[in-house]
Amino acid sequence: MHPNIMVVEDEEALSEMLRYNLEAEGYEVEVVERGDDAEIRLRETVPDLLLLDWMLPGLSGIELCRRVRLRSETENLPIIMLTARSEEAERVRGLSTGADDFVVKPFSVPELMARIKATLRRTNPNKISSRIICGDIELDKEMHRAHRNGREVRLGPTEYKLLEFLMSAPGRVFSREQLLDGVWGNDNYVDERTVDVHIGRLRRSITRGKEKDPIRTVRGSGYSLNDKFV
Ligand code: CA
């Protein structure tokens, strides 16, 4: 169910950076380096979104965009153009050629991710969901809200992030170090004991009455969200 994104970009450093960030957001990514190769590939498979560089070897991004729009299989394919050119005239030309959006290099990664999400939501609302469900726990990633059995669970920001992180891979055991990296990021001032404290708070918030504790402590390893807890 992950949306597929085809990245057509000849600068390897940039395409790898895009791949890394897109995969981290849960997209499936295919990178093609040349415009003409991308045209061939698009006859074999149609992604959910095309991230297209303007200047490409083989066939320019703008020409590829025009050709993609002429084929019935890809006429509605969402396209975001990437370009180093910031002139307004070029922007208009890009949009009139049929791109859905236009991002000028150098761009900020969070902004590009937001534009991709917005474009997908507009064009393919069922593919992009801000909800994750595991057992009787449901997260709304957009609203940063958690529900269990239909009741809202009030969580502090850290507990919320911890739960979201665990729910990203139910059943998988995360070490305290992995949880620190994933939830606290580069904050050097927290030690592994902090993880235990927040896991304890999360447990108390998420478990009421006879509800089962969804978090498993794996001795010597770390924590895991049970994939079968209800
Ligand atoms: Ca280029």
Q: In this predicted model, what pLDDT tens digit does every residue of 20-78 receive, in sequence order?
A: 999 988 899 999 999 999 999 999 999 999 999 998 999 999 899 999 999 988 988 99
Query: Around Cβ 71, how many Cβ atoms within 10 Å?
Result: 13
Quote the crossing angle between the two packed helices 109-123 and 12-24, to the nearest 10°: 60
Measure 65 CA to ligand 1 centroid, in angstroms. 14
Q: What is the reported pLDDT for 89?
A: 65
Q: What is the reported pLDDT for 109?
A: 92
Measure 38 CA to ligand 1 centroid, in angstroms. 13
Measure 166 CA to ligand 1 centroid, in angstroms. 38
**Common-topology check for domains 4-125 and 131-225:** no
Measure 22 CA to ligand 1 centroid, in angstroms. 19
Measure 52 CA to ligand 1 centroid, in angstroms. 9
Asked if CATH classification 3.40.50.2300 holds for the domain at 4-125, the reply, yes or no, is yes
Per-residue confidence band for 1, with pLDDT thresholds at 50, 70 and 90 = low
Instruction: Classify domain 131-225 at the CATH class level.
Output: mainly alpha
CA angle 38, 26, 221 (to 5 degrees): 135
User: Sheet holding 222-225: strands in order across?
Assistant: 173-175, 222-225, 215-218
* pLDDT tens digits along 195-225: 999 999 999 999 988 888 999 999 989 999 9
Measure 82 CA to ligand 1 centroid, in angstroms. 9
Instruction: Tell me the C-alpha distance between 218 and 222, whole Å.
Output: 5
* pLDDT tens digits along 107-137: 899 999 999 998 988 876 655 667 788 888 9
On average, the pLDDT of the chain sits at 88
Q: Are 38 and 61 in contact (CB under 8 A)?
A: no
Measure 54 CA to ligand 1 centroid, in angstroms. 6
pTM > 0.85: no
Q: What is the reported pLDDT for 87?
A: 64
Burial of 216 (0-12, 13-18, 19+ CB in 10 A): middle
Only one residue has tokens 């390893």, namely 221
Domain layout of the chain by residue ranges: 4-125, 131-225
Instruction: Tell me the C-alpha distance between 107 and 155, whole Å.
Output: 33
* pLDDT tens digits along 83-92: 876 666 666 6
